[in-house]
Structure 1
Amino acid sequence: MSTDPSFVDYVIEQSGLGGRIGFKRMFGEYGIYVDGKVVAFACDNSLFVKGVDATAALTAALPRHPPYPGAKPYPVADEWLDDADRLQALLVSTATALPTPKPKSATRGPRK
């Protein structure tokens, strides 16, 4: 089952992060971005947040499941979707802990 776009809209709205949060379709599901960093995945209408050391205490009680076959288990934050403050704190803490993405280089054609 793939994620319903209304689920992603709900996550974005509940986060209260305005222009800091966005999403991109990937692998048939969605990546959730905060400040340009992938912090979570929306898969099968569930929110899988990247596990980082800085959020281990926040996510300790959350169930862990792989978002897709072959993936490592991620904390599943579905129970926090109706708690905007908690959700926002988790997403921002995760983004803060992740490294800044490397800028994409302009490609001029295939490499030889």
Structure 2
Amino acid sequence: MPSDQKFVDFVIHQIKNAGEISAKKMFGEYGVYSDGKLFGLICDNRLFIKPTESGREFIGNIVEAPPYKGAKPSFLIEDKIEDGEWLSQLVRISLKELPDPKPKK
């Protein structure tokens, strides 16, 4: 089941304190970016954050799952999705370890 725009807007609003947040439609689901850097996916109305060591330490009791069939596991954020400050902090922490986007040709 594809994600609906209402859920995507909610997630973007929750992470508003982690840079310029945007979501781009990808294969019927959404990639989530901060200042142009991909850090997560929204699939089936669930938020997945790319795994990092700092993110793992911050979350503590993590739940990992693949966002779609054949994908590598990511952090599945369910319980804390309503906590915008916590979620923004997780994104800021994770972004430090994620590679910068490759320049477009």
Task: Report the TM-score, using the length of structure 1 for normalisation.
Answer: 0.86
Looking at secondary structure, tell me which structure has more helix per residue.
1
The structure whose Rg is larger is 1
Question: Residue 86 of structure 2 corresponds to which residue in structure 1?
Answer: 86
Paired-residue identity, %: 41
CA–CA distance in structure 2, aligned partners of residues 77 and 100 of structure 1: 23
CA–CA distance in structure 2, aligned partners of residues 92 and 8 of structure 1: 19
Tell me which stretches of 4 or more aligned residues in structure 1 moved more than 3 Å.
none
Q: 1:35, 1:95 within 8 Å by CA — same for their partners in 2?
A: no
Instruction: Output the amino acid matched with 2:24.
Output: K
Q: 1:103 to 1:6 in 2, by over 3 A?
A: same
Aligned length in residues: 105
Task: Please report how far the alpha carbon of residue 18 of structure 1 lies from its aligned counterpart in structure 2 after TM superposition.
Answer: 7.5
Q: 2:56, 2:62 within 8 Å by CA — same for their partners in 1?
A: no
Question: Residue 102 of structure 2 corresponds to which residue in structure 1?
Answer: 102
Residues 1-112 of structure 1 correspond to what in structure 2 (within 5 A)? 1-17=1-17, 20-105=20-105
CA–CA distance in structure 2, aligned partners of residues 65 and 77 of structure 1: 10
Q: 1:63 to 1:19 in 2, by over 3 A?
A: closer
Match of 2:79, SS?
A: helix
CA–CA distance in structure 2, aligned partners of residues 97 and 56 of structure 1: 12
Structure 2's unaligned 5+ residue stretches are none
